[in-house]
Structure 1
Amino acid sequence: MPGFGWISFTTDYGLADGFVGACHGVIARLAPHVRVIDVTHQVPAGDVRHGALVLAQTLPYLPAAVHVAVVDPGVGTARRPVALVTPGGVLVGPDNGLLPWAGDALGGVTTAVVLTNPRWFADSVSHTFHGRDIFAPVAAELATATALAGVGPVAGGATVPVTEVAAVLSEAGAPVDPAELVRLPEPVVRDGEGWLEAEVLGVDHFGNVQLAAPGARLAALPQRLRVGEHPAVRGETFGDVPEGELVVLVDSAGQVAVAAHRGRAAELLSVTAGALLRIDSHR
């Protein structure tokens, strides 16, 4: 039937405490028909940029859903709680830069709402746990309200009827111009003949270094490369170089990345997210 059958959940809460379980419980009580996809709860604490990257690169592969994301070092301050309607789902979370990259990846934000209606919140709202008391209840209420109204994606569908969903969501708060949402600074990407310099977007579990440059930029570089002071090869797979050596390739998200075959490129290069990395021809 119409309505949202899925809620995705992304946070920096970790798994050592009961924060994730409490939010799951709120959703289960308010919208027992909805299934929850846990994207990750291991975003580094307070790292809004990392959370934004995870959302932008993961949510397009999920069914159309209400996507709850909480990486919120400003919880309880003047930062706004918002919900954003896109063709690929509704994003619910803090207005601190966490959501817009994902909004772009899901087809663009068509409607933004500042969440102000206490009837959509928990009966008592903690100053330090808006995930449990605002964002999870809003997601569950939206899933229920769209089902009752007969609007939303068909089960398993990939697109959202944005106008109808926005009309339901309007009961949760006041509209705001999507252009006024807080956005993170765009990462640095520069290139020239035979070279590329780009900001490190992130380092994954395997130590692969993802750059802000889109994969198409790699085609202009020669086969034999230097990454910083280290020799490397432009390739397509991790196995295109001997064990321990560097390969520059297009990763699964379509970005330029540097990897070490059976090693950790980030440690070899001594880089972390936000660093600038230069790739040029090896002489």
Structure 2
Amino acid sequence: MNPLVLQSDFGLDDGAVSAMYGVAVGVEPRLRIHDVTHNIPPYDIWEASYRLAQVVSYWPTGTVFVSVVDPGVGSDRLSVVARTATGHLVVTPDNGTLTHLHAIFGITELREIDETTNRREGSEHSYTFHGRDIYAFTGARLASGAIDYEQVGPVLPLDRLVSLHVDEPRLVDGTVRGTIDALDVRYGSLWTSIPRELFLELGVSHGDRMQLRVTRNDRVVHSNQMRFVPSFAAVELGESLLYVNSLDRMAVAINRGSYARAFDLGTGNGWKVALGLVV
């Protein structure tokens, strides 16, 4: 059997997540069930997409992920299982949740879930909790080996995959440009889409002073200078810093403070960042 890893925007204040666990255990009591998070902001598909990409490569090949952030439940959006180039399976609505996985790692195959066979018995007239009735059930069957990938349902062309708009990071006129993809939620750091290798094409070294600009809707909403350093310990308490985060991308923080809260900054493709060397 393979691990089953769940993600949702359900929170832990009611029994929704427990119901998903129960369905999975009902398929196979010996399943190892784990969580990415259940604190995705309600309906935030972008956040769900990013958090999957944040963790997937650290799990063994064959791990099955179930991600349920589904504002379109009950609509004509498709239920799918994607196979990634890293050898993982992801059970999810086809609503953009696979965007970052496809962009960073690649999706090699996509299948529509055949809900006539891959659905919890007795749930045929329920249209609002597919996370429990279809996704947890199908994920558990895949993880336990009760079905194989080919039994999920028919193959879909990869160009059918629903993706959110993502701007590729780029080097332009002496600055690297990208987006604020996510926050280090607990600490308020800004995690950008700019890979370390692209940033280093600026010819920078640790200790160099950098100019940060953040724009939204083509308007500069924040500007600051800080040093590029290897870790938080290289700056004073309360000082801003630029560093390489755990995903090998550039991040901005305040030592012992929340950068996002201090400057009221958000995430998503509408939040643009530019980094340049101060000379």
> Which band: TM-score by shorter chain?
0.7 to 0.9
Shift in Å, 1:100: 4.2
Deviations 1:223-277 (A, max 9, x none): 1112233220011101222111111111001111111111111133331103112
TM-score, scaled relative to structure 1: 0.85
Deviations 1:165-185 (A, max 9, x none): xxx333332111122111111
Distance 1:131 1:242, change over 3 A: same
1:212-227 aligned within 5 A: 212-219=193-200, 220=202, 222=204, 223-227=208-212
CA distance in 1, matches of 2:41, 2:203: 33
1:59 aligned to 2:56? yes
Corresponding position of 2:129: 129
Structure 1: gaps of 5 or more residues: 150-167
Distance 1:62 1:232, change over 3 A: same
Deviations 1:142-174 (A, max 9, x none): 233x3x68xxxxxxxxxxxxxxxxxx3333321
Which of 271, 275, 279 aligns to 1:279? It is 275
CA distance in 2, matches of 1:88, 1:49: 22
Corresponding position of 2:220: none
CA distance in 1, matches of 2:235, 2:161: 44
Shift in Å, 1:69: 0.6
Shift in Å, 1:115: 0.9
1:6 aligned to 2:11? no
The question of whether the paired residues in 1 share the 8 Å contact of 2:101 and 2:107 is answered with no
Distance 1:28 1:49, change over 3 A: same
1:268 aligned to 2:249? no
Corresponding position of 1:250: 244
Corresponding position of 2:98: 99
- The residue type paired with residue 199 of structure 1 is T
Deviations 1:36-92 (A, max 9, x none): 111100011111011110000101111231111111111110000001123422110
Task: Compute the RMSD of aligned alpha carbons.
Answer: 1.9
- The residue type paired with residue 102 of structure 1 is L
Question: What SS does the corresponding residue of 2:67 show, helix, strand or coil?
Answer: strand
Question: What SS does the corresponding residue of 1:227 show, helix, strand or coil?
Answer: strand
Shift in Å, 1:122: 1.3
- The residue type paired with residue 254 of structure 1 is D
Which of 187, 190, 196 aligns to 1:206? It is 187
CA distance in 1, matches of 2:119, 2:182: 34
**What is the number of equivalent residue pairs in this alignment?**
259
Corresponding position of 1:142: 142
1:31-46 aligned within 5 A: 31-46=28-43
Q: Judging by fraction of residues, say which structure has more helix.
A: 1
Structure 2: gaps of 5 or more residues: 214-222
The question of whether the paired residues in 2 share the 8 Å contact of 1:225 and 1:280 is answered with yes
The question of whether the paired residues in 2 share the 8 Å contact of 1:117 and 1:171 is answered with no
Question: What SS does the corresponding residue of 1:83 show, helix, strand or coil?
Answer: strand
Corresponding position of 2:216: none
Corresponding position of 2:217: none
CA distance in 1, matches of 2:168, 2:260: 18
CA distance in 2, matches of 1:18, 1:142: 24
Corresponding position of 1:76: 74
CA distance in 2, matches of 1:141, 1:189: 38
Shift in Å, 1:188: 5.0
Which of 155, 179, 184 aligns to 1:175? It is 155
CA distance in 1, matches of 2:176, 2:261: 20
